[in-house]
Every structure is written in structure tokens, then in C-alpha cells.
Structure 1
Amino acid sequence: MILLLDSHTFYWAVRAPGRIPALAVRLIEDPANELLVSAVTPWELGIKFRKGKFAEAGPFLAAFARHLSTLGARELPISGEHALIAAQIEWEHRDPFDRMLAAQAIVENAVLVTADAAFASLGGLRVMWADPSGS
């Protein structure tokens, strides 16, 4: 199975795995699954850090490559195909980072591992977890 980790999922998988449901942790830790982390993740976390919304992101991003390696994950670059799909998705959600993650998951035939319930409303996207409470 191919798993694309949402930005918060990547952070929690490294720093606070207890925040992720046990099933998702098992799948993330299963070496039979391919783990992807989008290039949008350091961009999103970096913007939150620069805006003062996520102070822990600075030190975390300084070790981004090491965190990928620790999880056995591969960075997923943003391609033109991803960008075109993100721009064309019929979805009310306007967050550009979320739109890119959704497009990448669709194009790469990956399951998006996220707590963000907004993704559940997008048809054609396979999502795991999507906590309606947002936690």
C-alpha cells in the first residue's frame, strides 16, 4: 500500500506517534508499505513557522531529511501533473496545501493519512483516519 502522510501526520509520526491512531501507526511502521511525504510539507510547515504559528517546526525542518530516513519515507516532488489536478479538482476546500496533497494522493494512487476531516468530502480520494473532531 502507498501512504501519503499529511504534514501533521509526518510531524506526529516522528515527534508524537501517540497522537496517531494505532492502525495508522502500524501501517506507517509496516515496511511493506511505501511512505511518501510531499514536498509541500516542508513548505507548509515553514510558512507556519515563519508566521509564528508553529515554533517547533523550525528545528523539525532543520532535520527534515533525517526524519524522512527515520520513517523510511520518500519525498514526493510536486509535478506538473500534480499541479494541474490540484487546480482542477472540483472541491470547495481552498487551502492550496491540502489541494496539492489531495491531488498527489489521487495521481500516485496513495492513501492520504490525515486527521483532517475536510478530505473526506472529496470523492475519488482514499483517506485513512480523517477525524471529524479535528484531533
Structure 2
Amino acid sequence: MGVRLLLDTHILLWITLKPELIPSSLQVQLSDSQNQMVLSAVNAWEMSIKHALGRLPEAAPLLADFPAVAARLGADMLDISPAHAIRAGALEWTHRDPFDRMLVAQALEDGLRLVTLDAHITGFAQAPILR
């Protein structure tokens, strides 16, 4: 079995709406049948908040049926657990974005590799980033 890949929200948006933005090195990892993509409730939460604020109108079709998006991608779904919440709060990290903190906490807690190009996350040494 390959690696379980937790997608950061921008990667999910790119895969579904603008696949040309995905670097070829990530495309190889994401398309490897040995690897398993994982979508988090955090992705839906982040898109929903930003969509409601008018900052992410393109997320509407993804939010309309988020489980179907996961199914189309062959991705597993990951809920937010109390262990994730506690880990997110305990991270020794100055970055305060709750979505980023929760995704990193989920990756650490569940042994996942986080797929992201977000410099805030990639600069955090403890984050288990797919490189």
C-alpha cells in the first residue's frame, strides 16, 4: 500500500476546477493507484466559510454534494475528532489559521501526508508534508 494523502483545500480546488495548476510532481503522486487520497471535513468547512463570505464562489458545486466529490476522486472522508481538535490547539506553531492548524493536526494524528503548496504549512517543520 502506498501513502494516504490528505489534501489541503487549495489542492482539492485545483484538482476539481483547475487541474493545470497542479505541479507535475504532485500529479504523479496523486494519480498513483497505490496512494489513497483523503478529503477532510475541514475542506468542506473552509470552502463553506469562504463561499459564504463571497471569497470562494467557485466552491458552490463542490459544496452542493461534497461526498460525491470524494467519491468521484476515489477519496476517503475524514471527520474531525476530539483528538484532532486537541492536537490542533496544542501545536507549537505561530500560524493561527484554524483550517491549516486542523489539517496539520489531522495529518499528524492519523499518520497522513499533507498535500499542500501553502508556504505557511510547508514552513512548519512538524507538518508531515508530501515532498
Same fold, TM-score > 0.5, yes or no: yes
Q: CA deviation at 1:123?
A: 2.4
Q: Is 2:98 the counterpart of 1:96?
A: yes
- 1:41-80 aligned at under 5 Å gives the runs 41-80=43-82
Looking at structure 2, the residues matched to 67 and 31 of structure 1 have their Cα atoms a distance apart, in angstroms, of 18
Give the equivalent residue in structure 1 for 2:123: 121
Farther-moved stretch of structure 1 (10-19 vs 44-53): 10-19
Mark the runs of 5 or more structure 1 residues left unpaired by the alignment.
130-135
Mark the runs of 5 or more structure 2 residues left unpaired by the alignment.
none
Q: CA deviation at 1:128?
A: 3.0
Does the residue aligned with 2:57 lie in a helix, a strand or coil?
coil
TM-score (normalised: structure 1): 0.90
Q: CA deviation at 1:124?
A: 2.3
Deviation by residue 1:71-125 (Cα, 9 ceiling, x = unmatched): 1101111111111100000000000011000000111111111120111232222
Which consecutive segments of 4 or more residues in structure 1 shift more than 3 A? none
Q: CA deviation at 1:18?
A: 1.1
Looking at structure 1, the residues matched to 123 and 26 of structure 2 have their Cα atoms a distance apart, in angstroms, of 20
Give the equivalent residue in structure 2 for 1:33: 35
Query: Aligned residues: percent identity?
Result: 41
Looking at structure 2, the residues matched to 3 and 39 of structure 1 have their Cα atoms a distance apart, in angstroms, of 14
How many residues are paired up? 129
Task: Name the amino acid aligned to 1:65.
Answer: P
